[in-house]
Amino acid sequence: MPSHKQVIIQDKLELREVACVARDKAHVQLSPEVKKRILSSRGYVEKIIEKNQRVYGINTGFGALSEVTISREKLQELQHNIITSHAVGVGDPLSEDVVRAILLLKINTLSKGYSGVRLEIVEALVKMLNAGLHPVIPSKGSVGSSGDLAPLAHMSLPLVGLGEVEYQGKRLSGKEALVIVGLSPFKLQAKEGLALINGTQVTNAIALLALLDAEILAKTADLSAALSFEALCANREVFDKDIQRLKPYKGQADCAENMRKLLGTVTKKRVRLQDAYSLRAVPQVHGAVREALAFVRGVVEIETNAVTDNPLIFSEKKVVSGGNFHGETLAMACDLLAIAVAELANIAERRINRLIDKNISGLPAFLINNPGLNSGFMIPQYTAAALVSENKILAHPASVDSIPTSAQQEDHVSMATIAARKAEEIIFNAQHVISIELLCAAQGVDLGKAELTQATKKIKAEVRKRAAFLESDRLMIKDMQGVFESVQSGSLLSAVEKEIGALK
């Protein structure tokens, strides 16, 4: 069904607007000012063609073939060829929300008025997006410069009546998809094929949605840590404001404030004078994750509203070929995102381990009555350990690698799309680890009959909606999946914030 929400493309696109289009199916509209910019830029390209000026990307070959001049009668063929020749991606298709974000980000960058495409091309992308026509885009094949060439070529295929589109759960040909929005296959004009495939929109779309998920997860990790604190009777003094002000990172202070809000400041039953680092250093570790996420957000906000095409059309002043398509900043940011979230899972798994170890927790072994007959939460910790170990491998930075392409013309590339996809996978794994901590901590609280705060009562209640207390061994995968879905969607966090107010 069509969404009642609408996002207008004008000067600056907010990350929340991208999420609204990608995940809530908000409709997109071009502002009158945007249309004027697109028409003006296209007008200059047509003057270049009329004057028969030699300009890269308009009437030359691409990459290492940039010295080859293309005659006017071959310009349409040139632009068609760049789409078909570059659509060589492999692997599983990108998810629907990522594809919707890619379309929106491509519309946004073309709307800046520096790309020289016809207004009809941008409007066709808008129509496809609003109609729920999602190009099938393989996930692998981009080296992150000269932009996300292969996946963006797959995005563009339907415009010329080729490729495939997902529509209402079915796959259609690109030509069939255009009929739905009342269009025929386009004959791309000078500069248009290059403008469509040149840019960082695939990497940016994956990174943007992954970042938003990571920001939710960082707060949810505070919830799971708080419930573990209750189960383990850990010392709340570590969240004292005076400690935080002597190491004044905003992320650390925000985390400590959250933990005070969730747990209060008085430890009701102290078990030990000092707790292990996975408890005592929650503000320092969760806070460091927040610092990293803040940096990544800044990068993604800039990239979302950047022009990453090449060459760039500066009104009637000049056409300049540069390197804005290079995804190095995004690559480094995505590598940092991956490392940060991997650490969020890493410390959570250590708290899980403390909960199930009777020699540390003071609770029944593996959080189950009659251990031996029952394994309890022994194996969920194995799953968490496996995911954390996998994350350590995935966290190896992609941005430090480069393999030259295009006969050494593109001799340093960013591998940004690989960095973004790895970060996305790490977040998925970390969401599962935090879910397992929530399950273990809820069980520990019930076994230890801990006295809870208003906030931790709510956290446990939300877990119990999806997973009953484990009296004896049973199939737990449905319990795990239920809690995972509440973590992934942010519904658990939303329910707690509704009860106690927003967390930082």
Task: Identify whether 324 is part of a domain.
Answer: no
C-alpha to C-alpha distance for 347 and 466, rounded to whole angstroms: 24
What residue numbers bound the domain in which 104 lies? 6-199
**Which DSSP state fits 94?**
P
How far is it, in rounded angstroms, from Cα 186 to Cα 172?
17
Q: Can you point out the beta strands (E) in 70-114? A: 90-93
Last residue of a domain, one of 166, 199, 232: 199
Non-local CB neighbours of 25 within 8 Å, separated by 6+ positions: 2, 3, 5, 100, 132
Q: For 342-402, where are the E strands, in sequence order?
A: none
Q: Could you count the other beta carbons within 10 Å of the beta carbon of residue 171?
A: 12
Rg of the chain over Cα atoms, rounded to whole angstroms, equals 26
Extract the tokens encoding 161: 């009546």
| Max Cα distance, the chain (Å) | 87
Residues 391 and 251 grouped into a single domain = yes
Of 210, 193, 165, the closest CA to residue 79 belongs to 193
Single out the residue in 158, 179, 199 at which a domain terminates.
199
Distance (Å, whole) CA 231 – CA 394: 31
Q: Is there a contact between 210 and 420 (Cβ–Cβ < 8 Å)? A: yes
Same domain, 194 and 211: no
> Is the separation of the CB atoms in 436 and 352 below 8 Å?
yes
Residue 490 lies in a domain: yes
Residues 244 and 141 grouped into a single domain: no
CB 423 within 8 A of CB 356: no
421 in a structural domain: yes
Residues marked as catalytic: 56
Distances (CA, A) of 456 to 347, 441, 459, 481: 20, 10, 5, 21
The answer to whether 58 and 310 have CB atoms below 8 angstroms apart is: no
Residue 175 maps to which CATH number? 1.10.275.10
Whether residue 21 contacts residue 2, with contact meaning beta carbons closer than 8 Å, is answered with no
Q: Is residue 155 domain-shared with residue 291, that is, in the same domain?
A: no
Domain membership of residue 283 (yes or no) is yes
Any residues with CB less than 8 A from the CB of 459 and at least 6 apart, and which? 223, 224, 226, 227, 262, 438, 442, 492, 496
Give the tokens for residue 352: 């899980």
- Structural domain total, the chain: 2
> The pTM is what?
0.95
- Look up residue 81 and give its amino acid: N
Measured distance CA(474)–CA(464) in Å, rounded: 15
Is 357 part of any domain?
yes
Task: Choose the final residue of a domain: 199, 228, 247.
Answer: 199
What is the DSSP code (8-state) at residue 365? G
Question: In this structure, what CATH number is given to the domain that contains residue 301?
Answer: 1.20.200.10
Residues 241 and 360 in one domain: yes
- 55 and 11 housed in the same domain: yes
311 preceded by a cis bond (ω within 30 of 0): yes
Q: Which among 94, 77, 22, 106 is positioned nearest to 189, based on CA atoms?
A: 77
Q: Which helix (H) or strand (E) holds 9?
A: strand 6-9
Residue 322 within any structural domain of the chain: no
Residue 424 lies in a domain: yes
pLDDT in tens, the chain (504 residues): 345 689 999 999 999 999 999 999 999 999 999 999 999 999 999 988 888 888 887 888 776 677 788 888 888 998 999 999 999 999 999 999 999 999 999 999 999 999 999 999 999 999 999 999 999 999 999 999 888 999 999 999 999 999 999 999 999 999 999 999 999 999 999 999 999 999 999 999 999 999 999 999 999 999 999 999 999 999 999 999 999 999 999 999 999 999 999 999 876 676 688 999 999 999 999 999 999 999 999 999 999 999 999 889 987 778 888 899 999 999 999 999 999 999 999 999 999 999 999 999 999 999 999 999 999 999 999 999 999 999 999 999 999 998 888 888 788 899 999 999 999 999 999 999 999 999 999 999 999 988 999 999 999 999 999 999 999 999 999 999 999 999 999 999 999 999 999 999
Q: Are residues 385 and 475 in the same domain?
A: yes
Asked if residue 115 belongs to a domain, the reply is: yes
> Do residue 107 and residue 232 come from a single domain?
no
The DSSP bridge partners found for residue 29 are 8
Predicted local confidence at residue 315, as pLDDT: 74
Residues 345, 376: one domain?
yes
